[in-house]
Chains A and B, each alone.
Chain A
Amino acid sequence: MRWPAFLERFRPVEYEEPVSVLDLETSGLDPKSDRILSIAAVRVEGGRIVLSERFHRLVQDAGPVNREAIRHHRLRPVDVRHGEPLGDVLEAFVAWHGGRPLVGYAVAFDLAFLRREVRTRRLELPPRRADVRDRYRDRCLRANPQHPPDLRFEAMARALGVPVVGRHDALGDAVSTALMWIGLGGRGGAPAKA
C-alpha cells in the first residue's frame, strides 16, 4: 500500500526497516531555552549497528552553564568549546540520516530540540519516527495490563538484556538505544553485505 505523502509521517516504523537511532545531549531540559550540545546517531541495518559509519559531533557552545546538566552528560564548558557551529552539525546530520526513520528513547524530547533548529535553517528531518520507550511500554502492558513497567533508561536496558555502553554520552546512549531497538525486535532487514 502506498501512503499519501502528507500521511507519510503517520506510517508506523517496521522492525524490518533500516533506521537511524539518535540521541542528543542538551544544556537542560527546556527546548525553548536550552541548547543542543552534541548529536550522535547510528544506523541499524541487517541486525547490525553500523558503528563504523556513526555520526557523532560536538556543538560549539558558550551559553550559560547548567551544573545539573553537566553532572548528567559530563560535557564541561571546556569540552564543548572545541565543538563545531550548530548549523554545520545539523547540516552534516541531515546529510547523514538519509531519510531513514528516526528512533530514540523519548524521541519527542530530542525532536523538540532538533525541529526548532532545523526549521530556522530550512533543513529537513525524516518524517517518520519511533520511540523505544513507547514500544516497550505497549509491549509490557499487552503482556501484563495490571503492571505499569519501569520505563527508566537503565531499567529498560536491563529488562531487554542490553548492555549500557558509556551512559550519558550521546553516542553511548545512541548505541544503547539501538541495542534496545534490536532487543524489541528491530532487525533493519536482511543482513547487509559486510
Chain B
Amino acid sequence: MLDHVDIDTRQPPFDLLDAAAQERLKQSVDLVYYAQGAEILAAETEAAQAFVIAKGHVEAYDPRGAGGERAFADLGPGDLFGSHAVLSGRARHSYRAAEDTLCYTIPAAVFRDLANTQVRFGAWFREGMAVKRRHRSGESTPEGGRLLMTRVADAHLAPLERLPASASIGQVTRRLREAGVDCLLVEDALAGPGIVTRTDLLEALALRGRHPDDAVGPLAKRPLITVARQAPLYQALVTMTERHIERVVVRDGEEHVGTLGMAELLSHYSASSHLIVLEIGRAASIGQVAAAARRLPELIDPLFQQGAKMRFLMELVTALNGRILRRLYELTVPEAMRDRLGLLVLGSEGRGEQLLRTDQDNALVLADGLDDAEVAPVAEALSQAIEACGWPPCPGGVMVRNTAWRGTAGTWRERIVGWIAQPTPEAMLNLAILVDARPVAGNAALVEPVLTALRQSLGQDVALRAMADQAVRFHTPLSWFGRIKGGEAGTDLKKGAIFPMVHGLRTLALQAGIAERNSFARADALVAAGALSAELGRDLQQALAVCLRLRLGEQLKAKGEGVPDNRVHVDQLRRLDRELLRDALRVVNDFQDHLRHRFRLD
C-alpha cells in the first residue's frame, strides 16, 4: 500500500518514534489548506495542533518585535512547527502562509502523548534538548542502553501511605514519621487523590497559620503527578525535572503503588557517577584521583545522548568536580595549612556551568599572617594536580600557582579596588570571573569577606554600567533576515550568545544584590526579585540551555581532538537545532535590549 501521509519518518524528529508510534502519528493527522496570507498560528495563543508543511511556504514572525513585527524564519516542505506551542501551551511566534500552503496537522493531544511516551522523541523537544545523531543510528554505549532500559519498577520505591482528606495535619505528620516517608496520598472522593509533603505541612503550620487539628484536605496538591511502573526510569527523571518536583507517585495501571524520590532515582540511575564519587573518595594518590576524574566524560556522554536537562547535567558535574577538587586539596595541602587557606573556583566552574573541562580558573585566599612564600610550593603542587586531572592550564594565568591569584583578604580587597579604579579590559575580566567565585575546599570562612567586599564595590552604578556594556558589545551572529552567520570556521557561540547571557545575568544579579552564582539560578532569583520579566527569565534559561547543549555536542564530537572550543557549524546542525539556535539568538538580542535599557547604554 502506498503511503498517503507524506511525512518523512526517516527524518528527525520523527525518526525517534518507534514504528507503532510513527503509524499512530500518520493515522492521526489531517491535511489543512491555508490561503496565502492566512495566519496559521498566532503568538501567545494556545495551539490545538502541531504542523508539518506538506506543500508551500510558511513565515514565522514575532508580532511584538521592537519597531513592529520581525520575521525570523522561513519554513518549507517537511518542516515541523508549533511543537513548542503544543508542549508549552502557548505559541512564542506567529506563523503565516507565505503562499497557498498545505499542512499536515498533528492533534495536540496526540503530539503531547507521543512526547511523553516516546522517550527520545520527547527528549528532542524538551528545552530544545536534541538527541544526537549517534543516538539515532542505534549506536549507544552500554551505559546508555542500560539507562534507557531500566524501568521505574526497578528503582527503590517508597511505600505509599494514605489518609482521608478529613485527617488532621497532626495525624498526617505522625503517620509520615511512623512510616519514615516524606509524603502521603490524601484520598478525597470528590476532588480525587492529592499529595501532601512534609514541606507542605511545615509551611501550612509555620507560614499560613494552620493548626495541627485542621483537616489536611485543602493542602493536598492536585492533580497527582504520576509515572507508570513500566515506564523507563528516565521518564521519571524527566517528569520530575520538568515539573520541578522531587517525588512522583508510581502507578500500576490505575492503582497507585508507591512513590519515587529524586535521590533514589539518581542513585539508581547514575550508578557510575556514584562509583566515580567512591573512587575519588578512596583515591590515595593524585594519580588515582586523576584516573577517576578522566572518566567523567564517560558519564556525561550517555546522559547527554539521552537528552538529560543541561541544568541537571551541570549540577551533577559540578558536584563531582567539587569532590575531585576537595580530594586534591587534601592530598596536596599539608594538614597544618588546610584551615588557613581557602580554595576558590572562578568563572564557569564557579557558576557550576562547566561540563567538560575547558580551563581552570582558581584562586587562594590566605589567612592573615600566612606567608605567601610558604604557600607558593603548595599552590604549585595544587595547580599541577588540577592539571593532571584534566583541567587545562588557564591561558590568562588565573591559577593558584600565580602570586597574582593568591592573597589575604586584605590583599584581595586592594586588588578589587585597584581593578575598579582602573577598569582596563583585563581588570573587568578579572572582576567578572571573581564575581562567580565559589569556595570549594579549605576554610570557606576566609573567602566570605572577599566576596562580600567584591559585591559591595561592584554594586556601584559606574562599575555595573561598565560591566553591562561588555554584555552588549558583541552582536549575536543573527542577520536581519534570521540567518545565522558563521563562515567555515563556524559560529562562535561563546562570544555571540553564551557570554552576553552569562555576563548580563551576572551584572543584573550584582545590581540586585543576588548572591546566586549559577546563571539559571540567577535568572530564577532575578525573576523572583522583579528585576527580570518571568517570560524573559524563562526564555533566557532555555536559550542558554540550547547554546550550552549545542556547544557540548560539538565538544563531545571533537573529543580528544585538542582543547574544546566554542564553535558550532550551523550548516551541519539538524534543522530543528538550527531553529532552536535561531530562537536562542533572538532571546539574546532581546536580553541585550533589556540590558541597554536598564543600564541606559548607547
Chain A interface residues toward B at CB < 8 A:
47-52, 161, 163, 165-166, 169, 171-172, 175, 178-179, 182, 193-194
Closest 5 CB pairs of A and B: A166-B2, A49-B31, A194-B48, A48-B32, A182-B33
Q: Which residues of A contact B108 (CB under 8 A)?
A: 194
Nearest-Cβ distance from residue B245 to partner chain A, whole angstroms: 31
Measured CA separation A163–B31 after assembly (Å): 12
Is there contact, CB below 8 Å, between A50 and B30?
Answer: yes
Q: Is B134 an interface residue (CB 8 A)?
A: no
With A47-B33, A166-B2, A166-B4 already in contact, 4 other A-B pairs whose C-beta atoms are closer than 8 Å: A51-B4, A52-B107, A172-B2, A179-B31
Chain B, 27-56, CB within 8 A of any chain A CB: 27-34, 48-49, 54-55
Is there contact, CB below 8 Å, between A163 and B102?
Answer: yes
Our count of residue pairs bridging A and B at CB distance below 8 angstroms stands at 54
Q: Which residues of B contact A51 (CB under 8 A)?
A: 4-5, 29-31, 104
Chain B, 3-38, CB within 8 A of any chain A CB: 3-6, 27-34
The number of residues on chain B lying at the interface, defined by a beta carbon within 8 Å of a beta carbon of chain A, is 24
Is there contact, CB below 8 Å, between B102 and A172?
Answer: no
Partner pick for A52 among B29, B54, B100, CB 8 A cutoff: B29
Q: Which residues of B contact A161 (CB under 8 A)?
A: 100
Q: Which residues of A contact B1 (CB under 8 A)?
A: 169
Nearest-Cβ distance from residue B338 to partner chain A, whole angstroms: 66
Nearest B residue (CB) for A167: B2
Q: Which residues of A contact B100 (CB under 8 A)?
A: 161
Q: Which residues of A contact B54 (CB under 8 A)?
A: 163
A-B contact pairs, 13 of them (CB 8 A): A49-B32, A51-B5, A51-B30, A52-B28, A52-B107, A163-B6, A169-B4, A172-B2, A178-B31, A179-B33, A179-B102, A194-B49, A194-B108
Q: Is B273 an interface residue (CB 8 A)?
A: no
Nearest-Cβ distance from residue B82 to partner chain A, whole angstroms: 11
Is there contact, CB below 8 Å, between A49 and B4?
Answer: no
Measured CA separation A49–B105 after assembly (Å): 10
Nearest B residue (CB) for A45: B30
State whether A171 and B4 are in contact (beta carbons under 8 Å apart), knowing that A47-B34, A48-B32, A51-B30 are contacts in the complex: yes
Nearest-Cβ distance from residue B478 to partner chain A, whole angstroms: 33
Contact flags B90-115 to A (C-beta < 8 A → 1, else 0): 00000000001010110110000000
Q: Which residues of A contact B27 (CB under 8 A)?
A: 52
Nearest-Cβ distance from residue B39 to partner chain A, whole angstroms: 12
Is there contact, CB below 8 Å, between B6 and A165?
Answer: yes
State whether A175 and B4 are in contact (beta carbons under 8 Å apart), knowing that A52-B29, A163-B102, A194-B48 are contacts in the complex: yes
Nearest A residue (CB) for B110: A52
Q: Which residues of B contact A193 (CB under 8 A)?
A: 48
Is there contact, CB below 8 Å, between B2 and A169?
Answer: yes
Nearest-Cβ distance from residue B32 to partner chain A, whole angstroms: 5
Is there contact, CB below 8 Å, between A49 and B55?
Answer: no
Is there contact, CB below 8 Å, between A49 and B30?
Answer: yes
